[in-house]
Chains A and B, each alone.
Chain A
Amino acid sequence: MSPLDPNVVIAWRASGAIGAAAITAVIAALELILLLPQRIVVLAPGALTGMAAVFAFGLALLWPGLRYRFFGWQVSAEQVVIQKGVIWRSRSLIPRVRIQHVDTRTSPLQRWLGLSTLVIYTAGTHGSDAEIPGLAQDEAEHLREELAKLEELDDRG
């Protein structure tokens, strides 16, 4: 099983931080609008917001490392195997004869870090089961070309 590009951890942390900021903002707004006018104070003014911030940012910092550790992928002559999940584990196996087409996608953040997401389409897979989210750009492109060579696999013509 090959690991992802280590830079993906930075990308995940960055997007996690954005999410954490959003959650913190929502909690802060709720505390400001709902609790403060009623003079309800839990522990100390702003404590709820602080706890939410610590929890959310802590998760954004630590979780990507775990996610990285449990992610593995493998492309062989016959099939693509993608393994992932920290708590809910999953291992997906896609026979290469079933691959319809392959995409690479790059968000601005990923481009800055030199990363790409490889998305594999079959007639069946839906959602993120057939995605390898953090590959070095040239590797992703190489894999895309490699996986697109379908005809050679069909020895029955």
Chain B
Amino acid sequence: MIEAEARSGWRRLHPATPLLNLFGGGYVLLLFLAFAGSMFDGRIGAPLWPLVAIAVGAVVLAYLRFKYTVTDETLVITEGILFRRRRVIPRSRIQHIDLKAGVIQQLVGVAQARIETAGGRDAEATLRYVSKAEGLRLRDTLVKLPGTADAAEGATAPATVATQPQTEPPTFARRITPLELAVAGATSNRAGVLVGLLLGGDFLFDFMPTDWLLRRVIPPEYLETEAAVRALFESAQGDFRAFLIGAGILALVFGLLGWGLSVLLTVVRYFEFTLIAAGRELRVSYGLLTRRETGLRRSRVQNVLIEESILRRWLGLATLRVQTAGYGASVKSEEKMEILAPIARRDDLPEYLGAVFPDLDFSSVQWRRSHPRARRRLFVRRALVVIAASIGFWMLFTPWALLILLGLIPAWLLASLHYRHLGHARLGSYVLTREGLWNRRTYIVPLRKIQALHMRETPFQRRLGLGTVTIETAGSPFEWHAPRSIDLGRAYGLDLMEGLAADVRATGLSF
């Protein structure tokens, strides 16, 4: 071990690290106060300067103490000023590596490298910051399984395994163009949220030129109050046509803006998205302002999620994510799954999935629907809303509100439609589940990754003899975001669980 360490040599973080930490961390406030205090009155600033000196010293010392090295089998990190810490992370346990660089980091040419192993609350190790090239080297070496394909070569020159990553020819490579990303942004459900945010924000803070806009279409005497939306409601009492035109224009402007913003955000977020499958690894990189480079081992994928919003389903498009086991509670929930494709054509899905699960034949999947009584549950849930709304409005305003009850017809249609998207399937050594009408989520779980199976019954489900089977894998953050098959017949569901458990046992001890 010692020899191996000596051979590859200890490495330090990027020299810009102390500076970035000083201006990027909580120290910035201290620095600002010291400067501002001195400018204003020397007596205020003076006591702060020793603190600044201590902060600078601590940051520099932390940088000097932080060293790491990659050996044939481990990643070793030593750090700490007062409390020294030496961590040895076996390379075979590393789930994936994630490089992240914000705007400033990109300008300096550095990135933060996060190394994840299974379990644990935080990332197993974070290297803040390494140079871009060093980060890529780490990604390519650490994700590779030590001593498998490279064993023969490693025997003759072990040092090269650690320092020189052999890049295998990619078996699958995809680059997503900005145009495709624009389509992704235009079809994402986020557009609707943004419209809502813009409308609400403008109503509260009045940051959009709505007044100016409405002045063109609405008689000026209605526009004396400050907020345009409020003015619109007032004008409704006077001139109904003006109200309609105003409302239409407002909706159009806000809608287009929200839509445009969604497109812009998606393009910026996933700019130059590339996915490369080479050997047994997947490499993903994307982002304009915050650039991310991720490498993960294919065998570590716990499950794959295909997301199709209703708009995307019509257009034959989908989003793909993979779940790895390495994320703890401290990671933001939207980052808990790695993106595999921000947008993909449905026809390309088998190819994408083949890059992750080579033995999966996705095109031959045969869905088995949930129990027909599931439709009743889906209907009752919607019907209750309709009935409550009609009774409420009847009591409050007018008996005509009972016409809302006509909404029961679309409620039934929606329930039938929704029912068609519930289901599960067995396919070779995989199990698939799907649910959701507005945003359909399809999970693909390899049997060898199943950790536990649950059958849950709410009181309503129990009355209908139904239950939901949830499949647990490592790393799924929340139960309602886990692969599950909703509203199966109870007896059938229990049989399914037993059958899956038997198949899981057949895969033996694997984690």
Interface residues of A (CB under 8 A from B): 78-79, 85, 87-98, 100, 122-125, 129-130, 150, 153-156
Q: Which residues of B contact A92 (CB under 8 A)?
A: 452-455
B501 at the interface (CB under 8 A from A): yes
Q: Which residues of B contact A88 (CB under 8 A)?
A: 456-459
Q: Which residues of A contact B511 (CB under 8 A)?
A: 98, 100, 123
Contact A94–B452 (Cβ < 8 Å): yes
Contact B456–A129 (Cβ < 8 Å): no
B475 at the interface (CB under 8 A from A): yes
In the complex, the chain B residue whose C-beta lies closest to that of A98 is: B451
In the complex, the chain B residue whose C-beta lies closest to that of A154 is: B509
Pick from A79, A123, A125, A130: contact of B118, CB under 8 Å: A123
Contact B451–A93 (Cβ < 8 Å): no
Interface residues of B (CB under 8 A from A): 118-119, 325, 450-459, 462, 472-476, 494, 497-498, 501-502, 504-505, 507-511
A98 to B508, CA, bound (A): 9
CB distance from A47 to the nearest CB of B (A): 30
Lowest 4 CB-CB distances: which A-B pairs, in order?
A124-B451, A123-B474, A122-B451, A89-B457
A-B pairs with beta carbons under 8 A, tally: 85
A153 to B507, CA, bound (A): 12
A150 to B505, CA, bound (A): 12
Contact B454–A91 (Cβ < 8 Å): yes
Q: Identify 24 residue pairs between A and B in the complex whose beta-carbon atoms are under 8 Å apart, listed by A's number.
A: A78-B502, A85-B457, A87-B459, A89-B457, A91-B494, A92-B452, A92-B454, A93-B501, A94-B453, A95-B452, A95-B505, A97-B504, A98-B450, A98-B451, A98-B511, A122-B451, A123-B118, A123-B325, A124-B474, A125-B472, A129-B472, A154-B508, A154-B509, A155-B508
A124 to B118, CA, bound (A): 10
CB distance from B495 to the nearest CB of A (A): 12
CB distance from B157 to the nearest CB of A (A): 32
Contact B452–A97 (Cβ < 8 Å): no
A60 to B119, CA, bound (A): 36
Pick from B119, B455, B508, B509: contact of A91, CB under 8 Å: B455
Contact B505–A78 (Cβ < 8 Å): yes
Q: Which residues of A contact B462 (CB under 8 A)?
A: 89
Q: Which residues of B contact A156 (CB under 8 A)?
A: 508-509
Q: Which residues of A contact B476 (CB under 8 A)?
A: 124
Q: Which residues of A contact B507 (CB under 8 A)?
A: 97
Pick from B119, B454, B459, B509: contact of A97, CB under 8 Å: B509
Contact B472–A124 (Cβ < 8 Å): yes
Q: Which residues of A contact B508 (CB under 8 A)?
A: 97, 154-156
A87 to B118, CA, bound (A): 34
Q: Which residues of B contact A94 (CB under 8 A)?
A: 451-453
Q: Which residues of B contact A123 (CB under 8 A)?
A: 118-119, 325, 451, 474, 511
In the complex, the chain B residue whose C-beta lies closest to that of A80 is: B452
In the complex, the chain B residue whose C-beta lies closest to that of A88 is: B458
Given A124-B473, A125-B451; A97-B457 close (CB under 8 Å): no
Contact B458–A79 (Cβ < 8 Å): no
Q: Besides the contacts A93-B453, A124-B476, A125-B451, what 11 more A-B pairs have beta carbons closer than 8 Å?
A: A78-B502, A88-B456, A88-B458, A89-B456, A90-B456, A98-B511, A122-B451, A123-B119, A124-B451, A156-B508, A156-B509
A125 to B330, CA, bound (A): 17
Q: Which residues of A contact B459 (CB under 8 A)?
A: 87-88
Q: Which residues of B contact A124 (CB under 8 A)?
A: 451-452, 472-476
Q: Which residues of B contact A125 (CB under 8 A)?
A: 451-452, 472
